[in-house]
Amino acid sequence: MIETLPVDNIPPAQGFTDVLRRFTLDGMPTVEVEEAGLHYFVNAFWTAGQRRGHSIHEISYRACFKSQLPAFFIDRLTGPGDRVFDPFSGRGTTAVQAALMGRAPAANDVNPLSAMLCAPRLDPPSIGAIDARLTEIDLSKAVADPAEADLLAFYHPDTLRRISALRAWLLNRGDKLDAADAWIRMVAINRLTGHSPGFFSVYTMPPNQAVSAVSQRKINGARGQVPPPRDVKAIILKKTRSLLSDGAPPPHPPAILLTGPADRTPNLADASVDLIVTSPPFLDVVDYEGDNWLRCWFAGIDPASVRIDKHRDIAAWEAFVRRSFGEFARVVRPGGFVAFEVGEVRGGKVLLERHVSAAIEGLPFDLLGVMVNQQAFTKTANCWGVNNNRGGTNTNRIVLAVRH
């Protein structure tokens, strides 16, 4: 049995913890544990079979969670039309899932790539409109680019000329960029590098990160490979059909998409958010700037100008979380919820949920507990020190809080 809540009768905070307590999936009840003053709820809250969500989510981005995570909370804690916000949006999973479920999406990220990846999928144009626009674009015009010498580590010269021509065409559109253009840019950003013929590049690292040109030359040498020619337009159209194979989101309230730090979101009104579902940067474990240098090049963004928070010191990370929750206290309505996914870092030696608990002390939030979504669950697991990717386990750790 999967315990759900009627969307027209949102319960108080204790009601949601009761749902987690009663939750069973495939006959497996939730296990509760108290440790270090925190209450843990441990279960497989969504099955491995559910891990493939709607097709429109299937774009790659580093350190992103599966769509089933926000869907779990959106389904149980909001109703149609409610505002769902992700202040660290990344590829836009929470916002897109909110749109798919008829909620009002809101998203923020310090990297302008985020809005470029998210906005087109909230209200996509038709495949016919995208095909027609691709036909209009002339990719035969050579475009001089000082980065070309490095980029030839990834691309055949003909492919690089087409990519550069497409990039120049999109950048020249400026304010004239319409829905079809934005969609093409989004797909192209996502097809720049990868490890199959469905990408513009020769075989390289998985598509959620881009190695340096120096590293790519080493990969080419080790594999004895030369970048092959790719049909840029055909790849974009094929990925478009794949993304839209499950259809577009249904009608939903207008989205609010912001670019900036999470502790300053002035375009969101006071008490306007019903639910936050998010995952912040985790200490120093992900190099977002390094991973996205090639995407930034294509989009015309200076990656050095994107000041993504990186914290090697836990005290600095805790202060960053407190600043963020200070802003959440302004935008979340009383009775609204925050699901703050902190993952597992440094081999489980640093339990970030404890630092979130310390960070929000004195702010107008009640901590409900920590939900540990464990895909290969056993009752004997040490749920506050779950080993990720060992022994067949894969976990999400989500701090649950309610605005009082």
Strand arrangement of the beta sheet that strand 83-86 belongs to: 31-35, 38-43, 365-374, 395-403, 332-341, 273-278, 83-86, 104-109, 256-259
pLDDT band at 375 (very low <50, low <70, confident <90, very high): low
**Pick from 189, 222, 243: which residue ends a domain?**
243
Please tell me whether residues 94 and 138 are part of one structural domain.
no
Residues 6+ apart with CB under 8 A from 267: 256, 258
Which tokens go with 209? 């990160």
Which tokens go with 360? 């929000």
pLDDT band at 384 (very low <50, low <70, confident <90, very high): very low
Top pLDDT among 350 and 365 is at 365
Please tell me whether residues 362 and 274 are part of one structural domain.
yes
pTM: 0.91
In a domain, 296, yes or no: no
Which residue stretches of 101-200 are H helix?
Answer: 113-122, 127-136, 148-151, 157-173, 179-190
**Pick from 243, 275, 299: which residue ends a domain?**
243
In a domain, 298, yes or no: no
- Give kind and range of the element (H or E) at residue 40: strand 38-43
Please tell me whether residues 267 and 386 are part of one structural domain.
yes
Count up the domains in the chain and report the number: 2
What is the structure's pLDDT at 46?
82
Please tell me whether residues 164 and 313 are part of one structural domain.
no
In a domain, 4, yes or no: no
In a domain, 6, yes or no: no
In a domain, 175, yes or no: yes
Please tell me whether residues 138 and 193 are part of one structural domain.
yes
The model's pLDDT over 99-148, given as tens digits with 9 standing for 90+, comes to 999 999 999 999 999 999 999 999 999 999 999 999 999 999 877 666 67
Please tell me whether residues 202 and 282 are part of one structural domain.
no
pLDDT surpassing 50 at residue 391: no
What domain range includes position 229? 127-243
Please tell me whether residues 329 and 391 are part of one structural domain.
yes
**Residue 214, beta-bridge partner list:** none
In a domain, 248, yes or no: no
Please tell me whether residues 169 and 266 are part of one structural domain.
no
In a domain, 162, yes or no: yes
Half-sphere exposure of 187 (CA within 13 A, CB side): 28
In a domain, 236, yes or no: yes
Residue 264 sits in a domain whose CATH number is 3.40.50.150
Distance, CA of 187 to CA of 221 (rounded, Å):
29
**Is the Cβ–Cβ distance between 287 and 211 less than 8 Å?**
no
Please tell me whether residues 91 and 203 are part of one structural domain.
no
Please tell me whether residues 138 and 231 are part of one structural domain.
yes
What is the structure's pLDDT at 50?
47
Tell which residue, 190, 401, 380, 171, has the closest CA to residue 291.
Answer: 190
Top pLDDT among 87 and 382 is at 87
Please tell me whether residues 281 and 387 are part of one structural domain.
yes
Which tokens go with 372? 């540990």
**Residue 25, beta-bridge partner list:** 28
**Pick from 186, 213, 243: which residue ends a domain?**
243
pLDDT surpassing 70 at residue 11: no
Cα–Cα distance list, 394 to 22, 35, 91, 311 (Å): 22, 21, 21, 24
What is the structure's pLDDT at 388?
42
Distance, CA of 128 to CA of 240 (rounded, Å):
10
Please tell me whether residues 148 and 209 are part of one structural domain.
yes
